[in-house]
């Protein structure tokens, strides 16, 4: 078993040269959509521990269905249950959705996913490059206006339900392209921002299970019993230990200072070094954008017939470093301290379990309810010219992405924080020391 922070790969998805990309067009089947409901409900209850789902603002979506306009639903991506929650929304509005998803999830031992997922409206995208087939499929869905399309514009599951990470521009670019095509028919494309969060049920206390998980994590590194310390202090000490291992691996030293600053420093150093080597220039973009461009450059190099075996080994080391950058991006350093809630603590400990213990998907430490809030739809025509469909400015995609990001974060804020962490679980001295 590989452990990400220890050996570098962990739960990284297979690369295209390890698992070749194949496109499977969506073929929604009403029969399979009905049959799958029982299976989806079973996944919700047993695997995802979701006992109920609360939808808010559904009328904002139902009022747009059946008008012939394109509908793009854009939720945050904080949990493995997000797609299932979106599927339940489709049942609520009596209209099957289409979903864009990473192509790696289509491959299993028996090939069942290749058959069933397209029939549920799911189609793959190669997030490493310019996937024309996926782009065309998404464009056709929006232009046809028959089924809403769901895209998670964060691109990854970051397990940060209260804090949206910078959105990628692909969803906005797709919406603008489709809106230009719809102008001739007097139609438009609507982008519906959505926020998803999860809460432990009020009559359940997940803290004993979370403390047990913390002990398992500490035991992996043969630490002595730490149960006499507050849980928040244990979590931050553990995070510092993991970061120290990576600092020593890549920098040959363990640095000091606030955890957030150390994460940013190591990420910057790794990205700068790989950009100098692969692109001969440095970027000022966000970490996810920089990682995406560097992964493209690495894939191009590894596919080059002239690349030697030693060079390929070096490229794979770069892939591991880039995956580490994505992981560190999902550990902001101040997330739990900023608002000490049981849910935030659970998110971070679940990520520890996947990254350190190699668990593919961390099991929730108690029954939960899901909350999905739909925001005011965005008319994409507002980003186009009035007659010819040309964007009013060259940064139309960026403006739509920025607006969408602000709206999703606003919806997350409206849902509010989770259950406060008991005072006895918080050590103020520890919080001050790491800041």
Digit-coded pLDDT (tens) for 94-115: 999 999 998 888 877 677 888 9
Residue 432 has pLDDT above 60, yes or no: no
User: Distance between CA atoms of 79 and 161, rounded to whole angstroms?
Assistant: 8
What domains sit in the chain, N to C, each tagged with a CATH number?
A: 18-202+365-415 (3.40.1130.10), 207-362+422-433 (no CATH)
**Please, which pLDDT band fits residue 299 given cuts at 50, 70 and 90?**
confident
Check if the beta carbon of residue 235 is closer than 8 Å to that of residue 345.
Answer: yes
Q: Summarize the confidence of residues 120-143 as an average pLDDT.
A: 88
Whole-prediction pTM: 0.89
Res 113: pLDDT: 87
6-41 burial: b if 16+ Cβ within 10 Å, else e: bebebebeebbeeeebebbebebeeebbeebeeebe
Digit-coded pLDDT (tens) for 244-265: 999 999 999 999 999 999 999 9
Q: How far is CA 24 from CA 107, 137, 210, 383, in A?
A: 11, 10, 39, 31
Res 303: pLDDT: 84
Dump the DSSP string for 271-302: HHHHHHHHTSS---S-HHHHHHHHHHHHHHHH
Which helix H or strand E contains 71, and what residues bound it?
A: strand 70-75
Q: What is the mean pLDDT of the chain?
A: 89
Question: Of 7-21, 131-145, 341-355, which range is least confident?
Answer: 7-21
Residue 211 has pLDDT above 60, yes or no: yes
User: Distance between CA atoms of 57 and 69, rounded to whole angstroms?
Assistant: 19
């Amino acid at each position: 078993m590989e452990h990400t922070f220890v050996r570098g790969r962990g739960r990284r998805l297979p690369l295209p040269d390890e698992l070749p990309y194949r496109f499977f067009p969506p073929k929604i089947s009403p029969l399979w959509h009905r049959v799958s409901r029982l299976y989806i409900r079973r996944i919700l209850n047993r695997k995802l521990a979701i006992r109920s789902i609360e939808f808010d603002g559904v009328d904002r979506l139902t009022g747009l269905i059946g008008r012939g306009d394109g509908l793009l639903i854009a939720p945050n991506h904080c949990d493995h249950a997000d797609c299932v929650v979106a599927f339940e929304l489709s049942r609520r509005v009596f209209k099957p959705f289409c979903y864009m998803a990473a192509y790696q999830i289509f491959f299993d031992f028996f090939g069942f996913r290749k058959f069933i997922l397209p029939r549920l409206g799911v189609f793959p995208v190669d997030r490493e490059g310019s996937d024309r087939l996926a782009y065309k499929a998404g464009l056709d869905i929006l232009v046809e206006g028959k089924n809403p399309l769901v895209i998670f514009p964060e691109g990854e599951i970051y397990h940060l339900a209260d804090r949206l990470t910078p959105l990628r521009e692909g969803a906005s670019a797709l919406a603008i392209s489709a809106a230009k095509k719809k102008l001739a028919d007097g139609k438009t494309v609507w982008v519906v921002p959505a926020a998803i969060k999860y809460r432990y049920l009020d009559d359940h206390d997940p803290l004993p299970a979370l403390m047990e998980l913390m002990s398992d994590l500490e035991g992996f590194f043969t630490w002595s019993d730490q149960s006499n310390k507050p849980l928040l202090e244990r979590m931050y000490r553990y995070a510092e230990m993991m970061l120290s291992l990576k600092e020593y691996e890549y920098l040959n030293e363990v640095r000091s200072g606030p955890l957030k600053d150390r994460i940013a420093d190591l990420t910057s150093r790794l990205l700068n070094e790989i950009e100098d080597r692969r692109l001969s220039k440095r970027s000022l973009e966000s970490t996810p954008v920089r990682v995406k461009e560097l992964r493209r450059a690495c894939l191009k190099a590894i596919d080059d017939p002239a690349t030697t075996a030693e060079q390929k080994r070096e490229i794979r080391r770069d892939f591991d470093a880039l995956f580490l950058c994505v992981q560190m991006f999902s550990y902001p350093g101040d997330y739990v301290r900023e608002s000490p809630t049981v849910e935030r603590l659970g998110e971070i400990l679940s990520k520890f379990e996947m990254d350190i213990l190699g668990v593919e998907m961390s099991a929730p430490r108690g029954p939960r309810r899901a909350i999905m809030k739909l925001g005011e739809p965005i008319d994409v025509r507002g980003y186009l010219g009035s007659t010819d469909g040309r964007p009013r400015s060259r940064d139309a995609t960026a403006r739509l992405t920025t607006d969408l990001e602000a709206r999703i974060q606003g919806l997350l804020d409206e849902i509010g924080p989770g259950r406060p962490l008991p005072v006895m679980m918080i050590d103020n001295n520890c919080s001050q020391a790491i800041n």
